[in-house]
């Protein structure tokens, strides 16, 4: 029998799960890929959907009490504010929502009412051009950082979208990348990049000077398999979405391993609503073991997560809200698990 790695002891505490699957507009998520927080307490969730259901792409709006406040979408296409395969999202200090689209190769900026502000980028490898933009972060001064998966680089823009600088190239040396995905900034402006296919996190100064590298390929503590996202809290603790291992790892500010999380989702408020009107499903669920022992051939983190509902399955983004609660966005389970580091 295959058994999953247990959640290790540590300071991370599970708070709750947000979301529910939907196949239509309205309350619920469809392949969420990122989230962000506005100054007035709203939570914005980027719903990626997929190529066959681009009409469902949208940003859903809710609050911590899981009240669904609405959604906005400019529809599918190449026009202003429209999207095809949106991947990354962040909300800047001046309350601008930045969304990357890996199919349209551009960054689009909205205000928090969902109105289009500006966009930039086209497919290419020159300055100002993008190829597979993924993770996006905005510094306090408005500087925008974009990870480009197919150009294997980070490109820096002004808040108006003017190209400033480019770092990196394909490779596995310091400062090189292989299909980078998520990126994050710490309080001093250093840039952390989830160097996805190199199985590591790289840390840079805000000007692109390589500082250090965390992790290597593997399944052990402090090792990664295709990390998709990284977040850094006010005390420098580093959170990594270890996508290929279907887990979250907590590192200290020097990159030392502290804790691994495999996921412990419970029914969200919306999921409880669903169960309350589907009693036959609820009753059979009550006698089910949702963390079952599995046959030996189901032995990869992906296969285990596909069979084990509380575990992370497709953790694609990590975001810290103003209270430093960690939001783990799970694309395959259409939900967000929320944790918080205990500060003893």
Partner 1 sequence: MSNADIALMAHLMRRAGFGATRDELEQLVGQGYENVVENLLNPGDAGVMPDDVIRRYHSEMAEMRELNSAGAYWMYRMVTTRNQLEEKLALFWHGLFATGYSKLNQANALVNQITTFRRHSLGSYKTMLVELSKDPAMIIWLDNHDNHRDNINENYGRELLELFSMGVGNYTEDDIKECARAFTGWTLGNVEYMSTRASRDSIWPYSRINWHFNYRDYDHDDGEKTFLGHTGNFNGEDIIDIIVQQEATARFVCTRLFQFFAADDVNEAGEAVISDMMATYFASEYEIRSVMRTLFNSDYFRSEESRFARVKGPVELVVGAVRMAGTYQEPTFGADQLARQAMYMGQGIFQPPSVEGWHEGAEWIDSGALVERVNFVGRELGDPSNPGVRAIIDRMSRQSAGALSPEEQVSACADLIGPLELSEGTFTSIREFASEQGPADLRDGSRTEADEQRIANLLRLLTATREYQLA
Q: How far is the CB of 51 from partner 1 (least distance, A)?
A: 5
CB nearer to partner 1: give 157 or 312. 312
Residues 6+ apart with CB under 8 A from 278: none
Q: Report how far apart, in Å, the C-alpha atoms of 47 and of each of 17, 41, 233, 333 are.
A: 17, 19, 25, 12
Q: How far is the CB of 311 from partner 1 (least distance, A)?
A: 11
CB nearer to partner 1: give 61 or 336. 336
Strands of 236-344 (E only): list them: 238-242, 247-251, 257-261, 315-320, 325-330, 335-341
Q: How far is the CB of 145 from partner 1 (least distance, A)?
A: 20
Q: How far is the CB of 210 from partner 1 (least distance, A)?
A: 24
Structure-token match 């398999």, residue found: 225
Q: How far is residue 212's CA from residue 279's CA, in Å, rounded to a whole number? A: 53
CB nearer to partner 1: give 9 or 288. 288
The CA-to-CA distance between both ends of the chain, in Å, stands at 38
List interacting residues with partner 1 (CB under 8 A). Answer: 20-23, 28, 31, 33, 48-52, 84-85, 102-103, 179, 181, 196-197, 226, 228, 244, 265, 267-268, 270-271, 274-275, 278, 280-281, 284-285, 287-290, 292, 294-295, 297-298, 302-303, 306-309, 313-314, 331-335
Q: How far is residue 157's CA from residue 139's CA, in Å, rounded to a whole number? A: 11
Residues 6+ apart with CB under 8 A from 27: 20, 60, 68, 270
Q: How far is the CB of 256 from partner 1 (least distance, A)?
A: 26
Helix axes 269-276, 279-286, angle to 10 degrees: 110
CB nearer to partner 1: give 166 or 306. 306
Structure-token match 């939907």, residue found: 22
Select from 120, 44, 145, 48 the least CA-distant residue to 87.
48
Q: Report how far apart, in Å, the C-alpha atoms of 10 and of each of 14, 257, 261, 344 are.
A: 11, 10, 9, 11
Q: How far is the CB of 196 from partner 1 (least distance, A)?
A: 7
CB nearer to partner 1: give 106 or 335. 335
Kind and range of the H or E run holding 213: strand 210-214
CB nearer to partner 1: give 33 or 192. 33
Q: How far is the CB of 237 from partner 1 (least distance, A)?
A: 26
Check if the beta carbon of residue 87 is closer than 8 Å to that of residue 33: yes
Q: How far is the CB of 137 from partner 1 (least distance, A)?
A: 19
CB nearer to partner 1: give 102 or 186. 102
Q: How far is the CB of 105 from partner 1 (least distance, A)?
A: 12
Q: Under the phi-then-psi rule, with left for phi > 0, alpha for psi from -120 to 50, and beta for the rest, what region is 298?
A: beta
CB nearer to partner 1: give 40 or 296. 296
CB nearer to partner 1: give 258 or 263. 263
């Amino acid at each position: 029998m295959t058994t999953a790695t247990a959640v290790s002891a540590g300071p991370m505490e599970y708070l709750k799960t947000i979301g529910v699957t939907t196949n239509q507009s309205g309350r619920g998520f469809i392949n969420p890929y990122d989230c962000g927080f506005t100054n007035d307490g709203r939570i914005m969730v980027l719903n990626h959907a997929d190529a066959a259901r681009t009409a469902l792409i949208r940003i859903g709006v809710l609050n911590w009490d899981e009240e669904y406040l609405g959604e906005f979408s400019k529809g599918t296409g190449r026009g202003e504010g429209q999207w095809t395969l949106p991947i990354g999202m962040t909300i800047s200090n001046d309350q601008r929502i930045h969304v990357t689209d890996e199919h349209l190769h551009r960054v689009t900026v909205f205000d928090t009412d969902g109105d289009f502000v500006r966009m930039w980028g086209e497919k290419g490898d020159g300055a100002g051009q993008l190829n597979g933009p993924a993770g996006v972060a905005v510094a306090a001064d408005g500087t925008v950082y974009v990870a480009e998966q197919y150009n294997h680089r980070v490109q820096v823009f002004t808040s108006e979208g003017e190209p400033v600088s480019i770092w990196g190239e394909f490779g596995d040396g310091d400062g090189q990348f292989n299909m980078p995905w998520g990126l994050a900034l710490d309080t001093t402006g250093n840039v952390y990049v989830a160097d996805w296919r190199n199985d590591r996190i790289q840390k840079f100064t805000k000007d692109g000077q390589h500082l250090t590298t965390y992790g290597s390929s593997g399944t052990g503590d402090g090792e990664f398999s295709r990390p998709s996202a990284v977040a850094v809290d006010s005390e420098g603790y580093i959170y990594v979405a270890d996508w290929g291992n279907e887990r979250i790892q907590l590192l200290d500010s020097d990159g030392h391993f502290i804790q691994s999380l495999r996921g412990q989702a419970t029914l969200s408020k919306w999921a409880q609503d669903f169960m309350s009107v589907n009693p036959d499903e609820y009753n059979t669920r009550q006698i089910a073991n949702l963390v079952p022992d599995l046959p030996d051939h189901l032995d990869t983190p992906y296969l285990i997560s596909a069979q084990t509902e509380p575990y992370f399955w497709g953790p694609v983004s990590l975001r810290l809200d103003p209270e430093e609660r960690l939001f783990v966005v799970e694309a395959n389970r259409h939900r967000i698990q929320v944790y918080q580091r205990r500060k003893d």
